[in-house]
Amino acid sequence: MSTLQERLNKARNIKNVVDPSKLNVQEQQVTVTYTDEFLPFKERVHQEILDQINFNNALRSDSNKEEVKNLIRMTVDNLGGDIPRPIKNKLVTEIFDETIGLGPLESLLKNDEITEIMVNGPRQVYIERNGKIELSSVAFRDDNHVLNIIDRIISPLGRRCDESTPMVDARLADGSRVNAIIPPVSLVGPTITIRKFSKTPLEISDLIKFNSLSHQMSNFLEACVKGKANIMVFGGTGSGKTTLLNTLSGFIPTNERIVTIEDAAELQLKQPHVVTLESRPPNVEGSGEITIRDLVRNSLRMRPDRIVVGEVRSGEALDMLQAMNTGHDGSLTTAHANSSRDLLSRLETMVLMAGMGLPSRAIREQISSAFNIIVHQSRLRDGSRKVVGISEVMGMEGDTIILQDIFVFEQEGFDATGSIRGKFVPTGIRPRILERIHQEGVLTNDNWFKV
């Protein structure tokens, strides 16, 4: 240890590193700021810790994280004698995150207010908080630092990201969705996008509290799920489709067998009988790919009571329609679209991507008979996410699929803070699906639909 201390002092005089003007110590809170002058010190301590972890295999276990942190604290104390205690504490946290976690991203991942993290190269990290995007103070050392974090995320999943495959989808241990894209495709450097999910899944009561939908809408959707209606949630990127899908899936009875199919497993269902399937990209040789469509087909042989597909975006839409039309009632899925008419058009396009050469009318008949309820989730200008429409698929009239709005969100303006004011209102139409819901033994209330 003393030899390392001598090398460190030779590389940089620790006594002259701290600029007292950059320290702001208050009675209630300590704010620590320092420049990259501490980088050599951090790197040397980090290397010392890695050497000791490699020497002592027991330290690699997740159960020994506190022991690793104590080791880092002791090493920092031994090597940084004149460094003020507030900076030492911050260094210990950063070195621990770099050793065990995801480096600079750890502080953002621990902040429950942050819903999205966007790394645009090493020096530009944006976050989404309360529906608004802002630049954070977090930064990486260089491109290699970002690449190391990407590798740390995808390695446990058996995936890779290099020049031959510069894009990768993955997930964190808590189910948060990760996308990474690196040079030469990304011209700003390695890029990471993390869609965070709350540690405890949101309940329908939370969505009502956030004013994402009304009590009447939530009661109706709950009855639809329990009554085995086929439901499609649609909306734009970041509108909250997966969150709503997860919430609706929570209404599925506990005695049913559920098969979930996703690109990256994000759904957090609490039922005891859940089979989670995840697609797989091709390996280094370009083989071994398992697509969503493959999983949807296979799920039909798994005796599911419910099939929940995270998102349909191509040929799997045909297999999903086939499943809904052949007895797998109560299926749930999501899709990207900006309006209900856009959704129907996109579904038709996705079915054509299956390459079956079906005529348009046949596809529309399949769509109209498969889906019962479509739910429009939207992210509004003020950053809030709301269910702006619930519609029922009524069938075909000529070559056109007929939709009937059940609930809509009527925007009334803005308040003093710039937040959107509005109300959720029923259209007064009694849904035809209620008869089927009653046949499943689920009670409903006509007062839900009164204007």
Query: Mind listing the pLDDT tens digit for each residue in 239-257?
Result: 989 999 999 999 999 999 9
**Res 98: pLDDT:** 78
Q: For residues 136 and 143, give the distance between their C-alpha atoms in angstroms, rounded to a whole number.
A: 18
Range from 10-24, 301-315, 383-397 carrying the lowest mean pLDDT: 10-24
- Average of per-residue pLDDT across 94-120: 88
Q: Is the pLDDT of residue 392 over 90?
A: yes
- CB 98, CB 107: distance < 8 Å: no
Query: Mind listing the pLDDT tens digit for each residue in 280-332?
Result: 887 767 778 899 999 999 999 999 999 999 999 999 999 999 889 888 899 99
Query: Mind listing the pLDDT tens digit for each residue in 203-215?
Result: 899 999 999 999 9
List the one residue out of 225, 232, 265, 216 whose CA is nearest residue 249. 225
- What dihedral do alpha carbons 409, 414, 420, 423 form, nearest 10°? -30
Using DSSP bridges, classify how beta strands 191-195 and 258-262 pair: parallel, antiparallel or unpaired. Answer: unpaired
- Average of per-residue pLDDT across 47-56: 66
State whether CATH 3.40.50.300 applies to domain 204-449: yes
Rama region for 434: left / alpha / beta (φ>0; ψ in -120 to 50; rest): alpha
Q: Which residues contact 98 (CB under 8 A, 6 or more apart)?
A: 42, 46
Q: Which residues contact 156 (CB under 8 A, 6 or more apart)?
A: none
Q: Is the pLDDT of residue 411 over 80?
A: yes
144, two tokens? 């290699």
Determine the CATH number of domain 106-195.
Answer: 3.30.450.370
Domain ranges of the chain: 2-100, 106-195, 204-449
**Res 217: pLDDT:** 97
